[in-house]
Structure 1
């Protein structure tokens, strides 16, 4: 880890006209993205999906008044003093149907979750109950208040109570909660169908090809792995840096995919065809170029389809660090917006452990964060250049560094865990 980190200042890169801020770019994605259609699926297939409609409980939880412990259902008016005897008239296990009805001075043996019999006034846990040998009698060995250890019908969830809001992501805990309430199917937003386009002629498939100036592809595996982490499939295409090849591919993809995610080809070089080709075939630009580092020449556009929601094109620069930032921040937000989740990014706050020099662009730095005595402390990692990824072996967060500010040790910065 570095005690300080200084990146090259390229004043022209930060001062050129037309750049929008990171927050403006994020808000445009939220504002301009339409949610996809919905579908009904089984709860067992719904992990990490987003609810399209609220869910209300059709039952009470508990369904019936039940025992919270292994013990005895008792019928007795008021507080029970130690030494009181009760007649034992039966036993009820969890899940067992019983027609037993208690009268004053009677008891029934119960197990946790068992339905309490009619006229039960309290439950005595088995630790304070003594059986009287050779008699169907028990003795209470400690004072007991009315209504002890009884789970009342509907005390957790009542019929009609909202269990989940539209836009809510279904976590492991949410799946368990809905299952307990008897929910078997849910209406969720459809998963976006995503095409990933890796542009460029420089990708090597073998070690031998490295001798001819090619490089191994990090962007394709990076993007595929990120989507695997989201439990979502993507389709990866490689295209050469020719206007014809890019145009043919975009024509084919725009009507079959909800998102076209590209890497490379979005700047102003002689072989950067993503933006001009997209505009030529009918995509409408939402923004191009963000005042950030890495990832300035990011491009976001939409294509209106007649019988479907728009196809969105998010063009990321080709440098792998820019792709990594784009995936973690912008693609993540876009995927959620397509599934009805329009909440802004949730940034954490942490304390930087060293100074940082200013830059005219807002920066996303890969850092290592750790909690110490209730505080989150941040440390920058070396090798932050946009073509480098090796520090991702140690990084666990991306931290936002405001533009045009010298950051002092102890400053509070925002970021996201990765």
Structure 2
């Protein structure tokens, strides 16, 4: 049996690049950018009006002019309009492109307009006010988003604004989520008194979807031949297999033998942790990885967050997000010599301190308890008593 830290080191050592691919920019959310995105022109591409009002030449202010003849009205997207005398103005809307003959915007709130004449109600006017200058954000060819970062809605917006219809992203691994056992029935089915509905696979799929990864799902019946055939197919067509349950030594647990027959090397089995002690991890000789989590819902949920997601981040070149700490809100006791992943509810104090309140459930099968918590607090295995106010690492889900 190995420690959590040893298990993590072994798992992360199996990270590798899966290459790159081009995606339509609107489908790239949640992927990792594999190229710099550059501006195809200045941003903004023209002197852009930021307030509804009138556009004037500041020379008029310097000469003491306080009323202006409205020459025309210009909306956003229209050809810029010029003035030819400094006592003229253009009534102009937010987002419009400003003519070189104009350099200052006066808001409607600071004007009185009557019979085509705009009179100033203020005296404090600065040249260039209420204008977003051309190229102020980025010059043509400037990098607006650097490679290696997660594509967020903001980056989707940037790609659209610079005409980047396709973006180069890092390929995500092909993932198959596998459940097994005749005691599990489909969500839409009515289980018998001795059956339960499949839920772990949907839970894992939902977690991965939150991180931009779309996984496939498969259920394997309790049959040795079917188990071997299905596992073999998955090893040949996927980069990662995520199993929930069926990896122990029960009479009808056929997966361990199938993995052995199919040349999947066991890298470790069992970790000094609760939940999730009987966690199995291995690698096929073609590079496909197998994460075989315990079947208990909370154990599966925890292991996905503690091991698979960090592996995924390293694989995609993202930082491993395991550097968040919180103070324990109440005393807590856990006596087994295992690292304990305590379910907690997080909250901030007015002093911006993060506190974790334990929410004790009924063991690793109590998946309903997850709905009332939002993180696991990682308590060290060399202690049994944990005091209020002590600081420990938390894994937010």
TM-score category of the 2 structures, normalised to the smaller one? 0.7 to 0.9
Which of the numbers 147, 167, 184 marks the counterpart of 1:203? 184
Counterpart of 1:318 in structure 2 is 295
2:320 corresponds in structure 1 to 344
**Residue number in structure 2 paired with 1:385:** 363
Which residue matches 2:339?
Answer: 362
Shift of 1:199: 3.2
Q: Which residue of 1 aligns with 2:162?
A: 181
TM-fit CA distance, 1:69: 0.7
- Show the counterpart of 1:93: 75
* Contact map agreement 2:349 2:355 (CA 8 A) in 1: yes
Gaps of 5+ in 1: 1-17
Greater relative contact order (CA < 8 Å, ≥ 6 in sequence): 1
Q: 1:261 aligns to what SS in structure 2?
A: strand
Counterpart pick for 1:115 among 78, 82, 97: 97
How much has 1:314 moved relative to structure 2?
0.9
CA distance in 2, matches of 1:346, 1:299: 22
**TM-score, normalised with respect to structure 2:** 0.86
Indicate conservation of the 8 Å contact 2:242/2:292, yes or no.
yes
Partners in 1 of 2:281 and 2:241 — Cα distance? 10
Matched residue, 1:138: 118
With normalisation by structure 1, the TM-score equals 0.83
Using the alignment, how far apart are the partners of 1:280 and 1:165 within structure 2?
A: 45
Maintained 8 Å contact 2:55/2:105: yes
The alpha carbon displacement at 1:19 in A equals: 0.5
Residue among 235, 259, 262 paired with 1:278: 259
Give the Cα–Cα distance (whole angstroms) in 1 for the partners of residues 240 and 96 of structure 2.
Answer: 52
Q: CA RMSD in A?
A: 2.8
Match of 2:28 among 40, 43, 46: 46
Residue 238 (structure 2) pairs with residue 257 (structure 1) = yes
Superposed CA offset, 1:180-224 (max 9, x none): 33322211233432222223344357767435xx54444233334
* Structure 1 match to 2:395: 416
The structural deviation recorded for 1:409 is 0.8
**1:346 Cα deviation (Å)?**
3.9
Question: Would you say the 8 A contact 2:222–2:254 is kept in 1?
Answer: no
Q: CA deviation at 1:149?
A: 0.9
> Which residues in structure 2 correspond to 1:104-253 (within 5 Å)?
104-131=86-113, 133=115, 137-143=117-123, 144-203=125-184, 209-211=192-194, 214-230=195-211, 232-240=214-222, 242=224, 244-253=225-234
Cα deviation per residue 1:111-136 (whole Å; 9 max; x = unaligned)? 11111111323221122233364xx6
**Change over 3 Å in CA distance of 1:229–1:146 after alignment to 2:** closer
When the two structures are aligned, how many residues end up with a matched partner? 390
Q: Does 1:294 align with 2:275?
A: yes
Asked if residue 33 in structure 1 is aligned to residue 15 in structure 2, the reply is: yes
- Structure 1 distance, partners of 2:260, 2:338, is 27
- 1:26–1:52 Cα change, 3 Å: farther
What is the Cα deviation at residue 390 of structure 1? 2.6
Conserved? CA contact 2:314–2:320, under 8 Å: no
**Partner Cα distance (2:271, 2:248) in 1:** 12
1:401 aligns with 2:379: yes
Distance 2:251 2:114 in 1: 95
Unaligned runs of 5+ in 2: none
CA distance in 1, matches of 2:10, 2:141: 37
Supply the distance in 1 between the matched residues of 2:191 and 2:227 (Cα, whole angstroms): 27
